[in-house]
Amino acid sequence: MSIARFTHVSQAQYAEAMAGREGFLPIAEIPMPKRATTGSAGYDFVSPLEVTIPAGETALIPTGIRAEMEQGWVLLLFPRSSFGFKYSLRLANTVGVIDSDYAFAKNEGHIMVKLRNPLSEPVTIGKGERFCQGVFLPYGTAEEDEVTAGRVGGFGSTDR
């Protein structure tokens, strides 16, 4: 039973997110996130460009991907364990929470990944390299939950 669909963001959204950068894959060449084996939970996301993260710094990687999913589901982003084990690479926000209504935000639900390199050596993510993974999970709601607001953005759009 599938509960979600990955698609590319529009060319315009991709260009906006990649402004000032060079050498990134054309949007049509970014592969959809894929699971590596039949029993894998994680959909591996590919980096559309080569990124070197200097020691102790962070880098933002726009993935070119959005995820439409049914209500009641969330997509959680995690590092791939190989990058964590080899380079201690982590997400700047520790875990990425991709909400089901983010797909309809003003930026089309463009999934962004911010990585932190905590080591004293630079780390390079290759263009086209699988660098993080997303896991779909169902979530519950509490009683007397009367939220009605719709999502317009991410990264603090609901407060700052």
Ligand X SMILES: O=c1ccn([C@H]2C[C@H](O)[C@@H](COP(=O)(O)OP(=O)(O)OP(=O)(O)O)O2)c(=O)[nH]1
Closest to ligand X by CB, 37 vs 131, is: 131
**Neighbouring-strand partners of residue 77:** 96, 134
Single-letter code of the amino acid located at 52: T
Of 73, 35, 31, 36, the C-alpha closest to 48 is 31
Site size toward ligand X (CB under 6 A) is 17
Give the DSSP letter of residue 151.
P
Residue nearest to ligand X (CB): 154
Residue 15 touches ligand X, criterion: CB under 6 A:
no
> Is residue 103 within 8 Å of residue 66, measured between CB atoms?
yes
Count the Cβ atoms, other than its own, within 10 Å of residue 76. Answer: 16
**Neighbouring-strand partners of residue 78:** 133
Q: Please, which residues have CB within 8 angstroms of residue 114's CB and are 6 or more apart in sequence?
A: 58, 59, 60, 61, 91, 92, 93
Whole-number minimum distance, CB 14 to ligand X, in Å? 14
Closest to ligand X by CB, 19 vs 37, is: 19
Whole-number minimum distance, CB 50 to ligand X, in Å? 20
Closest to ligand X by CB, 81 vs 157, is: 157
Of 111, 126, 133, the C-alpha closest to 14 is 111
Residues 92-151 interacting with ligand X (rule: CB under 6 A): 93, 96-99, 102, 111-113
Site string for ligand X, 70-89 (x = CB under 6 A): -------x------------
Whole-number minimum distance, CB 102 to ligand X, in Å? 3
Whole-number minimum distance, CB 39 to ligand X, in Å? 25
The rounded distance, in Å, linking the Cα atoms of 122 and 51 is 10
**Binding-site member from 33, 48, 134, 154 for ligand X (CB under 6 A):** 154
Interface residue list for ligand X (CB under 6 A): 77, 93, 96-99, 102, 111-113, 153-159
